[in-house]
Amino acid sequence: MQQATRGRSRRSRAALAVVTAAVLGVAGCDAVGGGSPAPSGTAAERSRPSPTPVWDTGPDSVAAVGDSITRGFDACAVLTDCPEVSWATGGSEQVDSLAVRLLGPAGAAERSWNYAVTGARMEDLPGQMARAARRGPELVAVMAGANDACRETTSAMTPVADFRADFRKAMRTLREALPKAQVYVASVPDLKRLWSQGRTNALGKQVWKLGICPSMLGDADALDAAATERRETVRKRVEDYNEVLEEVCAADLRCRSDGGAVHAYRFGTGQLSRWDWFHPSVDGQSRLAEIAYRTVTAKQP
């Protein structure tokens, strides 16, 4: 009887060992550090490696693409580019551009480049992106779309589908060359508000007659039904463009749009060129730089 008891005891211990081993073997699938059970709760969070942030709030170089606004057109002299006061890359102390805020004056002079072209439309952006990419910038600043709405007539405005296709092509062009470059996208300003502010200035209206944004600024004092409808058509098209900019940018992990901040900014006469009362003045360029810097350096988009 005693031997039988000892035999059963040994068999019981052996069976227990097998069961214990099996349980530990299953637990080992989630274990950290050999046979230790996996941590849970706060301990588990501490044990996980921190992911590398996709967005760097301190890029080391900046390239700019876009149109006359980014070239500082009419900010320093009539019908003339003035890239020194560009919101994106200018070196003017009065503007404190995005590049200067990010890199400092010396860094901005060495590691920022402006490839915007006065009069450019979205169809021109892929080419500008290709030229900018050759510099290998860590951040590309984009402001384009106003000229797609500023045409001779509303029927000549860039169709929304074409605008989207051109912007996607521009982003692909950059990504093929620089997969990790960051992109800041500014919204298109509210052209109708610019008309409402500038039409109070007689000199500005004379300059408008030279061909500045005729779809919105033509017959500046006309308030009849046809003129009102024309301006509303332009306003709506700009809103459609801004939706495209946000949508395409949101599909790219390394792209941030301003969320409509430039479009919503209420430019007053102090922020408009004293020559054409439509393009940003030096002070207006500074406001654009503020919006861009705030967006680029925000912890969350």
User: Model pTM?
Assistant: 0.82
Same domain, 22 and 85: no
Residue 255 lies in a domain: yes
Q: Please state, in angstroms and rounded to a whole number, the distance separating the CA atoms of residues 49 and 245.
A: 34
Residue 53 falls within a domain, yes or no? no
Distance of alpha carbon 72 from alpha carbon 222, whole angstroms: 29
**Same domain, residue pair 80 and 200:** yes
pLDDT grade, residue 54 (50/70/90)?
Answer: confident
Report if residue 186 sits inside a domain.
Answer: yes
**CA-wise closest residue to 241 among 165, 170, 293:** 165
Q: How confident is the model at residue 214 (pLDDT cuts 50, 70, 90)?
A: very high
Pair 28, 151 in one domain: no
Residue 262 has pLDDT above 60, yes or no: yes
Residue 67 in any domain: the answer is yes
The answer to whether residue 54 is domain-embedded is no
- Tell which residue, 62, 70, 107, has the closest CA to residue 188: 70
Q: Say if residue 92 is in the same domain as residue 123.
A: yes
Query: Is the distance from CB of 66 to CB of 143 less than 8 angstroms?
Result: yes
**Does the structure show a pLDDT above 50 at 9?**
no
pLDDT given for residue 203 in this prediction: 87
Residues 292 and 159 in one domain: yes
pLDDT at 223 over 60: yes
Looking at the fold, whether 131 and 223 belong to one and the same domain comes out as: yes
The span from the CA of 66 to the CA of 116, in Å, is: 4
Whole-number pLDDT of residue 300: 86
Q: What is the mean predicted confidence (pLDDT) over 29-44?
A: 38
For residue 42, pLDDT over 80 is answered with: no
- Contacts of 62 by beta carbon, 8 Å cutoff, 6+ apart: 88, 89, 98, 99, 102, 103, 108, 111, 112, 113, 137, 138, 139, 140, 141
Pair (36, 184) in one structural domain = no
Quote the CA–CA distance of 124 and 184 in Å, as a whole number. 18
Domain assignment present for residue 236? The answer is yes
Burial bucket for residue 226 (CB in 10 Å: 0-12, 13-18, 19+): exposed
36 and 151, same domain (yes or no): no
CATH of the domain at 272: 3.40.50.1110
The mean of the pLDDT values for the chain is 87
The verdict on 218 and 256 lying in the same domain is yes
Checking if the pLDDT of 28 tops 60, the result is: no
Q: Are residues 35 and 118 in the same domain?
A: no
Over range 170-181, report the average pLDDT. Answer: 98
**56 domain-assigned:** no
- Residues 43, 67 share a domain: no
Same domain, 17 and 85: no
Instruction: Find the domain containing 190 and state its range.
Output: 62-297
Q: For residue 125, tell me if it sits in a domain.
A: yes
Number of domains in the chain: 2
